[in-house]
């Protein structure tokens, strides 16, 4: 797992891949459309992020594993509320966009792509064993349901020490 700043350096030359477009929202902030799926509201993405977090009823005393970076609005909201956050994102372009759009300031740990080593990553295992909660970004789950399920399985394996 690397920090947002480490990913920013590594992904600096990554270009937007086909099937991904940047769209301005009503507030002037961007959102992404990935394979036809909007990652955030076209109207008020920050309000949408706040509603997602409020509906999850997360315990601020426990870390949060966020599956799906989107543009980072929900992650920034969690960090502003002083949650300890780890981000897991399947799409390299989405991760680059989230990191470049605002995640550098708080520099959360991010796991990108392949999940093979996730369940044995010491930082990930520590977070899981501290009672981590899961927050799934709904558009990410629509785009990558098998990936989200694989992350849940990695969390289960890490929780029992396998």
Domain extents in the chain: 2-17+59-160
Rounded to an integer, the average pLDDT of 8-17 is: 86
Confidence bin at 23 (pLDDT 50/70/90): very high
| Distance separating alpha carbons of residues 109 and 95, to the nearest angstrom | 12
Per CATH, which fold does 2-17+59-160 belong to? Answer: Rossmann fold (3.40.50)
| Distance separating alpha carbons of residues 102 and 12, to the nearest angstrom | 14
1-14 burial, b at 16+ Cβ within 10 Å, e below that, comes to bebbeebbeebeee
Name 45's Cβ contacts closer than 8 Å, sequence gap at least 6. Answer: 25, 27, 29, 31, 71, 73
| Distance separating alpha carbons of residues 97 and 69, to the nearest angstrom | 9
Contact 46, 29 (CB under 8 A): yes
What is the per-residue pLDDT for 162? Answer: 56
| Distance separating alpha carbons of residues 50 and 151, to the nearest angstrom | 23
What is the per-residue pLDDT for 159? Answer: 84
Secondary structure class of 17 (helix, strand, coil):
coil
The two tokens of residue 114 are 């392949």
What is the per-residue pLDDT for 113? Answer: 85
Candidates 155, 158, 142; CA nearest to 68 is 142
Between residues 117 and 63, which one has the greater pLDDT? 63
pLDDT exceeds cutoff 60 at 126 = yes
């Amino acid at each position: 797992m690397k920090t947002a700043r480490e990913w920013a350096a590594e992904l600096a030359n990554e270009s937007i891949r086909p099937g991904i477009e940047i769209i301005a929202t009503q507030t002037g902030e961007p959102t992404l459309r990935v394979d036809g799926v909007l990652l955030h509201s076209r109207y008020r993405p920050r309000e949408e992020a706040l509603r997602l977090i409020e509906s999850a009823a997360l315990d601020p005393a426990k870390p949060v594993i966020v599956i799906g970076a989107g543009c980072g609005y929900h992650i920034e909201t969690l960090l502003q509320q002083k949650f300890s956050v780890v981000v897991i994102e399947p799409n390299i372009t989405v991760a680059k966009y989230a990191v470049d759009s605002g995640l550098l300031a708080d520099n959360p740990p991010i796991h990108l792509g392949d999940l093979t080593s996730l369940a044995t990553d010491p930082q990930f295992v520590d977070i899981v064993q501290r009672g981590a909660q899961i927050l799934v970004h709904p558009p990410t789950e629509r785009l990558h349901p098998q990936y989200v399920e694989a992350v849940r399985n990695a969390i289960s394996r890490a929780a029992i020490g396998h």
